[in-house]
Chain A
Amino acid sequence: MQACALVAAAACVVVVLNRDLMRSALSLLVVMLALAGIYAGAGALLIAAVQVVVSAGAVVVLFMFAIMVIDSRLEEKSVFPMGKSFVPAAAGAVLVLFASAFAVAGFLDLVPGRMPGVSPVIGSLFSGYLLLLEASGLLLLVSLVAVVILARRNSPR
Chain B
Amino acid sequence: MTIGLLHLLAFWMFASGVAGVVLRRNPLAVFMSIELMMNAANLLIVLASGGAGMESAATQGLSAVFILIALGAAEVAVGLAVMMAMFRDGKGASLDRVTTLRG
Contacts and interface: CB of A to CB of B under 8 A. Distances in A.
Contacts, number: 175
A63 B77 CA distance: 9
Interface string B70-81: 111111111011
Contact of B84 (A1, A69, A132, A144): A69
Nearest to B54: A120
Contacts of A147: 77-78, 80-81
B52 A125 contact: no
Interface string B34-76: 0110010011001101011110101110110111011111111
A146 B85 CA distance: 12
Contact of A46 (B36, B52, B87): B52
The A interface is mostly helix, strand or loop, or mixed, namely helix
B32 interface: yes
B62 A121 contact: yes
Interface residues of A, number: 63
B77 A16 contact: no
A70 B62 CA distance: 36
A32 to B, nearest CB: 7
Contact of B12 (A12, A24, A116): A12
Nearest to A21: B28
B83 to A, nearest CB: 6
Given A59-B72, A66-B28, A147-B81, A16 B39 contact: no
A5 B10 CA distance: 9
B32 to A, nearest CB: 5
Contact of B93 (A38, A39, A74): A74
Interface in A28-54: 28, 31-32, 35, 38-39, 42-47, 50-51, 54
A35 B14 CA distance: 14
Contacts of A39: 43, 46
Given A12-B16, A62-B80, 20 more contacts: A9-B13, A15-B32, A24-B29, A28-B35, A38-B6, A38-B46, A43-B51, A44-B62, A44-B65, A47-B46, A47-B69, A66-B83, A70-B84, A120-B54, A139-B74, A147-B78, A150-B85, A151-B81, A151-B85, A155-B85
5 contacts: A16-B36, A62-B80, A63-B80, A66-B80, A124-B63
